[in-house]
Chain A
Amino acid sequence: MIVNESVLSLGISLLALFIAGLLATRINQSLTAVFIVVGMILQNFFPVTIITEFIATLGIIFMLFMFGLEFSVGSLVNNQRKIFFSGIYDLIFNFPLGLLIGWLLGYDLIQSLLLAGIIYVTSSVIVAKSIIDLKRSANPETEYILNVLIFEDMFIATFLAFIVGISNYGQIDAKGAFIVILKTSVFFAFFIVLAKTSNKFINKIIDIEHTELFVILILSIIVLSAGAASYVGLSEAIGAFLAGLLLSETKQRHRISEAIKPFQQFSTAIFFVAFGMSIDYKHIGGMIPVGIFIFILSSFSKVYGGYFIGGKYALSKRAGLRLGLSLIPRGEFSIILAGAISMNPGVPYPIKSLTGVYVLLSAILGSIIMKESDWFIKWFIERKDTEVKQTKDPF
């Protein structure tokens, strides 16, 4: 059955999302994974339309904007040392792995870098939600998990700007890297200076009582920033992120969030569906073994990295393991990265399909692992203890 009417297909997608989402919340699964699956199923009935694609683009922009808006600059400044060091350890343990795998899969340097980002970044949406649902917000490891997440998100936002810039330039060489880094820095600096010097002015401009005009003004700020970033050859997403950061320091922050949230929820859902629809069934079969392979390797490196961070900050073994086991789910950022640059179609392992398989595996299994981590931790600690006893007992 082919439905050609694009508005009708959008309606069907939304209804399917609702039903699937309802089921997902019953079994405590993350919506991200379910939305992608819905997209994969729907591609059999109708193609991705211009409307879907357009909304999906807005989805990335709004997601990054909300992320910037809710980003707590205060806690970043207060805990900068802890965030920096936990984040760096996590980066060292997990980023090079993706580069290595990319090289093994025959990717070029830009693609390998992209894969490294996809594999490295844990989903802060899924993990933060699981922490709250599992009543772990007071656990000793939780603040370190969140510190790692905040570092990763900051890193990936910058990385996204860089990778899109370098991909537009065409190749990685010293000159290209220099130009892109310069562009990115100037763009960031512009927004940071604007936030620091013109906070009062911005507050005055956006202090509009008329609800409709307020929404239009905020939308124009978001889309203009995204467009400006795109115009200078960086990713639209980074422009939206910086617009969010800029507005996060204003008095209207809460109102902005209320106004934009419905747009964001709608367009982000469509973004995940569109991503699911773009996963090619032809490739899926070949992707599954590779996806499982990457999932296992990267889960080990995440758990080990987390355990290492726990040790550095004198957490108990138990808490350290829980820290690592909580970092497995991948989600929104991996998907954004996968669609961020257009790939040359001859690649043996198309990065979108691979990322689809990998994100589905890690989002679903990662949430389950978080929930069921107790028995593993128990087993691991008992095993360690018997080892210690054996070595202590010479007879």
Chain B
Amino acid sequence: MSEIKECDLPGIGKKFTLELDSGDKLVVVIHFSGEREVFKFMKSSDEPSSVTTLTDEEARQIGSILSGTYFQPVLEDEQKLMMKNVTMEWIKITDDSTLANKKIEELNIRKMTGVSITTIIRGETVIPNPRAGEIIKPHDTIIIIGNNDQINKFISTFEIKQRIENDRQ
């Protein structure tokens, strides 16, 4: 890895110099104002051949792209492909539900239908990844995940009437 030289520019900011394998130099100046300047110096030249000025925010974005940590949203096509097979469903637990007042483990949901409960919403509290010992209570909303067949099987097995139109779109 190449060495980065650091240098104070009193009154202006800080200068970082990176010697590239090609022999060119890349110099970044961080101004006290937060502005960044990126200079490119060609081999053995002491005048920059290009200057780019970035705001603080732009610099952070570019920085995360360069370091490979920038979050790239999945392309829409891929997203559809993924969603074709997997569905999430919001289900309201009524008083007379077959699921009410039972521990998750008692219900054997996964074994019987293939569906998993990802979250229980109970009033103001949200329980993500509930434990097998968690009791489903009336008026809870549960979020389940599975493919379409599994979801349908879940609905018929537990005689669910109240599905919630979710904002999945």
B11 touches A139 (CB 8 A): no
Residues of chain B contacted by A140 (CB below 8 angstroms): 46
Chain B stretch 46-72: residues in CB contact (< 8 A) with chain A: 46-48, 51
Which listed residue, B8, B11, B13, touches A149 by the CB 8 Å rule? B11
- 5 extra A-B contacts, CB within 8 A, seeds A315-B46, A318-B47: A75-B8, A135-B37, A135-B48, A143-B9, A150-B11
Point out the residues of chain B lying under 8 angstroms from A72, CB to CB: 8, 10-11
On chain B, the residues within 8 Å of A79 by CB distance are 8, 10
B47 contacts A143, C-beta separation under 8 Å = no
- The number of residues on chain A lying at the interface, defined by a beta carbon within 8 Å of a beta carbon of chain B, is 27
Query: Per-residue CB proximity of A135-158 to B under 8 Å, as 1/0?
Result: 101111111001101100000000
The residue among B10, B27, B37, B41 with the most chain A CB atoms within 10 A of its own CB is: B10
A179 to chain B, nearest CB (A): 33
Asked whether A138 lies within 8 Å of B10 as measured between CB atoms, the reply is no
Q: A137-B29, A138-B29 are in contact. Are A146 and B12 (CB under 8 A)?
A: yes
Q: Which 6 A-B pairs have the closest CB atoms?
A: A75-B8, A138-B27, A138-B39, A137-B29, A75-B10, A319-B46
Q: A138-B37, A138-B48, A139-B48 are in contact. Are A128 and B15 (CB under 8 A)?
A: no
Inter-chain CA distance A137–B48, complex, in Å, is: 10
In the bound complex, CA of A274 to CA of B51 (Å) = 40
Please tell me if B4 contacts chain A, counting CB pairs below 8 Å. Answer: no
For B, the interface residue count at a CB cutoff of 8 angstroms equals 19
The residues in B between 3 and 26 inclusive whose CB is less than 8 angstroms from any CB of A are 7-13, 15, 17
**A142 and B8 form a contact (CB under 8 A):** no
Cα A128 to Cα B31 with chains together (Å):
12
Check A78 against B11 for contact (C-beta < 8 Å).
Answer: no
A-B contact count (CB 8 A): 62
Specify which of B12, B17, B29, B31 lies most central, judged by the most chain A CB atoms within 10 Å of its CB: B12
* Binding site secondary structure of chain B: strand
Query: Known: A137-B15, A137-B29, A137-B37. Is A142-B9 also a contact (CB below 8 A)?
Result: yes
Give the residues in chain A near B51, CB-CB below 8 Å: 135
Instruction: Give 11 CB contacts A-B under 8 Å.
Output: A72-B8, A72-B10, A128-B12, A131-B12, A135-B39, A135-B48, A138-B37, A143-B8, A143-B9, A150-B10, A319-B46
List A contacts of B41 (CB < 8 A). 138
Which residues of chain B have C-beta atoms less than 8 A from A142's C-beta?
A: 9, 12, 15
Nearest residue, chain B, Cβ from A320: B46
CB–CB B46/A146 < 8 A: no
Taking Cβ atoms with an 8 Å cutoff, the residues of A that contact B are 70, 72, 74-76, 78-79, 124, 128, 131-132, 135, 137-143, 146-147, 149-150, 315-316, 318-319
Residues of chain B touching chain A, judged by Cβ–Cβ distance below 8 Å, are: 7-13, 15, 17, 27, 29, 31, 37, 39, 41, 46-48, 51
Please report whether the interface of chain A is mostly helix, strand, loop or mixed according to DSSP. Answer: helix
**A217 smallest CB distance to B (angstroms):** 25
Residue numbers in B under 8 Å from A150 (CB-CB) = 10-11
Q: Report B1 CB to chain A, min CB distance, Å.
A: 21
In the assembly, what is the distance between CA of A146 and CA of B47, in Å?
17
B53: min CB distance to chain A, Å? 8
Q: Which of A70, A78, A139 contacts B47 (CB 8 A)?
A: A139
In the complex, which residue of chain A has the Cβ closest to the Cβ of B33?
A132
Q: What distance in Å separates the Cβ of B22 from its nearest Cβ neighbour in chain A?
A: 18
Closest chain A residue to B6, Cβ basis: A78
Q: Which residue of B lies closest to A71 (CB)?
A: B10
Q: Which residues of B contact A135 (CB under 8 A)?
A: 37, 39, 48, 51
Indicate if the CB atoms of B47 and A137 lie closer than 8 Å. no
Residue of chain A at shortest CB distance from B51: A135
Residue of A whose beta carbon sits closest to that of B11? A128
Max chain A C-beta neighbours (<10 A), residue from B8, B17, B37: B8
Q: How far is the CA of A131 from the CA of B10 in the complex (A)?
A: 12
Contacts of A124 in B (CB 8 A): 11
The answer for the CA separation of A150 and B9 in the assembled complex, in Å, is: 10
Residues of B within 8 A of A141 (CB): 46
- In this complex, what residue of A is CB-closest to B12? A137
**CA–CA, A236 to B113, complex, Å?**
85
Cβ A147 vs Cβ B39 within 8 A = no
- Enumerate chain B residues within 8 angstroms of A128, measured Cβ to Cβ: 11-12
Across the interface, which residues of B come within 8 angstroms of A318, CB to CB? 46-47
Could you say which of A74, A76, A78, A132 contacts B12, with CB atoms under 8 Å apart? A132
Instruction: Please give, as numbers and ranges, the residues of chain A lying within 8 Å of B37 by CB-CB distance.
Output: 135, 137-138
Partner of B8, one of A78, A131, A138: A78
- B39 and A70 contact, CB distance less than 8 A: no
Given A137-B29, A138-B15, A138-B39, verify A146-B48 contact (CB < 8 Å): no
